[in-house]
């Protein structure tokens, strides 16, 4: 294992990833409906700023501005032919930022979902999905990404297609799913299902986990689910900064930097090794998370009650894993009972 992430994981017992991409780009003037990836070419200095803000706040890993940089997503903006190019530029900018620092920084090439439903339920075939992911992976590799970073996936078929594509591209990778539907992904995967899927892959990720979803509490319940399943590889926790709320026509995340600091420490206690934020997580949040992870001691694995007390209530009574005798859930039920 000679890639930058594996090296860091050998010397550190936690790593800070980055925060939101969308939220921070909107703060720089991106309009809703615009393709953020076009900014890699149009406004590279803003993308340099986006990455630098995360690194300055203490992040060891940042994700490139290429979440929607696959041909299927870019087609919505008439830019489907630019998938490889825009992904390459996102990583080139990242490489420059990372290499300008005197500590190791991992450039993670972000790969989001295609936005299409895969066969047999939908029209996107496995072969085409692999091709779409492979094209983007090649661009990110050319640009100098250290690893690829699959995120916000709901369907196991799509996760598997990406794993295959990343093998074709010859790139190490990480991959997270979004558990946004009562503890499951939109396509019904539980945290336990994900551990089993990842363990069965021919080209497994270096690290796996959860990103986005509902709030920070739900995300940590999912991490506890990974740990309970006996996950062997490092777990990634990238939760939103609180719960999205509509305020004056804008989506606002109610999680304060102090709340995300608590979240970061609890994520580590839950068993996560790579900890970051997702939507709503700004550099201010990351700074507090970094300080908390650096200065606060590790604690016992928290209970669901302790998580809810610190970060707010869960969005659903259960997370879909286990049977009725599952201990944490039983405690929850009793308390409500």
Output 198 or 219, the one with its CB closest to Zn ion.
219
Output 40 or 211, the one with its CB closest to Zn ion.
211
Output 141 or 285, the one with its CB closest to Zn ion.
285
Shortest distance (Å) from residue 210 CB to Zn ion:
11
Shortest distance (Å) from residue 141 CB to Zn ion:
25
Shortest distance (Å) from residue 244 CB to Zn ion:
9
Could you list the residues known to form a binding site, using ranges: 212, 278-279
Q: What are residue 149's DSSP bridge partners?
A: 110, 174
Output 217 or 332, the one with its CB closest to Zn ion.
217
Cα separations in angstroms, 123 against 69, 74, 98, 127? 20, 18, 39, 11
Question: Phi/psi of residue 211, each to 5°?
Answer: -140, 160
CA atoms of 151 and 146, how far apart (whole Å)? 16
Q: Does 177 sit near Zn ion (CB under 5 A)?
A: no
Shortest distance (Å) from residue 22 CB to Zn ion:
7
E strand or H helix at 29 = none
Residue 116 is given by DSSP the state S
Task: Give me the long-range contacts of 304-307 (CB less than 8 A, separation at least 24).
Answer: 304/221, 304/224, 304/328, 304/329, 304/331, 304/332, 305/331, 305/332, 305/335, 306/266, 307/217, 307/220, 307/221, 307/266, 307/270
Shortest distance (Å) from residue 153 CB to Zn ion:
12
Shortest distance (Å) from residue 50 CB to Zn ion:
15
Residues of span 136-175 touching Zn ion by CB under 5 A:
none
Could you list the residues known to form a binding site for Zn(2+), using ranges: 212, 278-279
Q: Which residue has the tokens 């299927």?
A: 72
Residues of span 271-290 touching Zn ion by CB under 5 A:
278-279
Output 97 or 212, the one with its CB closest to Zn ion.
212
* Site string (181-220) toward Zn ion, x via CB under 5 A: -------------------------------x--------
**Taking the CB of residue 167, how many other CB atoms lie within 10 A of it?**
16
Residues of span 8-47 touching Zn ion by CB under 5 A:
none
Q: Are 172 and 5 in contact (CB under 8 A)?
A: yes
Task: Catalog residues that contact Zn ion under the rule CB under 5 A.
Answer: 212, 278-279
């Amino acid at each position: 294992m000679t890639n930058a992430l594996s090296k860091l994981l050998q010397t550190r017992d936690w790593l800070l990833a980055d925060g939101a991409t969308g939220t921070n780009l909107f703060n720089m003037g991106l309009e809703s409906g615009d393709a953020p990836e076009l900014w890699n070419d149009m406004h590279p200095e803003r993308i340099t700023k986006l990455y630098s803000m995360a690194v300055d706040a203490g992040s060891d890993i940042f994700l490139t501005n290429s979440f929607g940089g696959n041909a299927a997503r870019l087609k919505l903006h008439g830019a489907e032919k630019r998938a490889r190019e825009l992904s390459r530029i996102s990583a080139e900018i990242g490489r420059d930022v990372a290499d300008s620092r005197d500590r190791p920084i991992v450039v993670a090439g972000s790969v989001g979902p295609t936005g299409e439903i895969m066969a047999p339920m939908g029209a996107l075939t496995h072969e085409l999905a692999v091709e779409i992911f492979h094209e983007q992976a090649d661009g990110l590799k050319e640009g100098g990404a250290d690893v690829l970073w699959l995120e916000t996936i709901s369907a196991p078929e799509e996760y598997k297609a990406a794993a295959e594509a990343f093998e074709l591209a010859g790139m190490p990778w990480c991959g997270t799913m979004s558990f946004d539907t009562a503890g499951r992904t939109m396509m019904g995967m539980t945290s336990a299902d994900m551990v089993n899927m990842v363990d069965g892959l021919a080209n497994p990720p270096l690290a796996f986990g959860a990103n986005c979803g509902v709030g920070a509490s739900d995300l940590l319940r999912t991490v506890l689910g990974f740990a309970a399943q006996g996950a062997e590889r490092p777990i990634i926790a990238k939760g939103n900064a609180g719960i999205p709320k509509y305020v004056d026509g804008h989506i606002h995340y109610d999680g304060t930097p102090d709340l995300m600091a608590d979240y970061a420490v609890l994520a580590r206690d839950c068993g996560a090794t790579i900890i970051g934020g997702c939507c709503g997580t700004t550099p201010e949040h990351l700074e507090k998370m970094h300080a908390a992870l650096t200065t606060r001691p590790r604690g016992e694995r928290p209970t669901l009650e302790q998580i809810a007390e610190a970060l707010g209530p869960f969005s659903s009574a259960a997370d879909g894993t286990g049977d009725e005798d599952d201990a944490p859930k039983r405690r929850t039920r009793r308390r409500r009972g």
